[in-house]
């Protein structure tokens, strides 16, 4: 019997793929939900869809190549038409927390170059306000202890992410500090405050970036929410 959570994630991915048109340049996200988008795009490519893509992680790059999706670099393009990615939390204004998989800096670079940014999630990721999920902050390994101290002054308890008792390294060779702020009342302000700290590469708050969020529910339904400008 197939995992119901997996089915929900596939459902959201299928809806997102409907936005893709022939000739587009795509951004490919990272994580369990984005995985299904990559697989679905790969199937479309086998059926004749012509696209090219940039992936947000080494893992997604490998998956895309295996799926037959042509990969390019930023040296070859000046924008991305559509990016499909997941999120760890989505609030009512479509602000996001991302970085649970450790690819937040690459994900934000790709998102910033994207004309139409689609976020796909299952219903559990929808929250009234961000903050239950600890905010990932990508930092330089050198002096990370001092960076952590400065972050703590903003009202969080930073925890160095580790794997097998060794610091987790992002694809960029950086550390990740998971910062539990609790409910984030002013995400845009916190984003600026965190990024102003020397040693911080970027953080997992994605403010006013998502154009559309597609949320899939266990009952098989989907909900599409578009960002309201202004």
105 and 19 in a common domain = yes
Structural domains counted in the chain: 2
150 and 93 in a common domain = no
Q: How many CB atoms lie within 10 A of CB 46?
A: 11
pLDDT for position 3 = 58
Catalytic site includes residue 192: no
Grade residue 79 by pLDDT with cuts at 50, 70 and 90: very high
Over residues 2-12, the mean pLDDT reads 73
Q: Which token pair is 141? A: 């390994």
Domain that holds residue 177: 135-202
Grade residue 54 by pLDDT with cuts at 50, 70 and 90: very high
DSSP state of 51: -
pLDDT for position 229 = 65
Check pLDDT > 70 for residue 47. Answer: yes
pLDDT for position 33 = 86
Q: Is residue 78 part of a domain?
A: yes
Strands (E), the chain: 25-28, 52-55, 80-85, 89-90, 96-97, 114-122, 135-139, 157-160, 162-163, 166-167, 175-180, 200-203, 205-206, 212-216, 222-226
Q: Is residue 48 part of a domain?
A: yes
Please tell me which residue in 2, 76, 92, 107 is annotated as part of the active site: 107
142 and 106 in a common domain = no
Grade residue 6 by pLDDT with cuts at 50, 70 and 90: low
Tokens 């903050």 belong to: 131
Check pLDDT > 50 for residue 191. Answer: yes
Q: Is residue 155 part of a domain?
A: yes
95 and 193 in a common domain = no
Closest CA relative to residue 122, chosen from 47, 199, 15, 1: 15
pLDDT for position 7 = 79
101 and 187 in a common domain = no
179 and 88 in a common domain = no
- 114: helix, strand or coil: strand
Kindly report, residue by residue over 115-155, the tens digit of the pLDDT: 999 999 999 999 999 999 999 999 999 999 999 999 999 99
Over residues 6-21, the mean pLDDT reads 91
């Amino acid at each position: 019997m197939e995992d119901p959570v997996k089915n929900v994630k596939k459902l959201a991915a299928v809806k997102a793929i409907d936005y893709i048109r022939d000739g587009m340049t795509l951004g490919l996200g990272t994580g369990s939900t984005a995985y299904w988008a990559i697989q679905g795009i790969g199937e479309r490519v086998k059926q004749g869809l012509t696209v090219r893509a940039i992936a947000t992680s080494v893992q997604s790059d490998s998956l895309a190549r295996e799926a037959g999706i042509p990969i390019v670099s930023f040296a070859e393009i000046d924008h991305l038409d559509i990016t499909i990615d997941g999120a760890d939390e989505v609030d009512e204004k479509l602000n996001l927390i991302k970085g649970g998989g450790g690819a937040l800096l690459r994900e934000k670079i790709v998102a910033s170059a994207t004309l139409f940014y689609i976020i796909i999630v299952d219903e559990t990721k929808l929250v009234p306000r961000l903050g239950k999920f600890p905010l990932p902050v990508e930092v330089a390994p050198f002096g990370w202890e001092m960076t952590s101290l400065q972050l703590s002054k903003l009202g969080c308890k930073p925890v160095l992410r580790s794997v097998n008792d060794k610091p987790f390294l992002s694809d960029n060779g950086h550390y990740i500090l998971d910062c539990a702020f609790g409910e984030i009342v002013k995400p845009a302000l916190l984003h600026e405050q965190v990024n102003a700290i020397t040693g911080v590469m970027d953080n997992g708050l994605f403010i006013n970036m998502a154009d559309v969020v597609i949320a899939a529910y266990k009952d098989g339904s989907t909900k599409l929410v578009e960002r309201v400008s202004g």
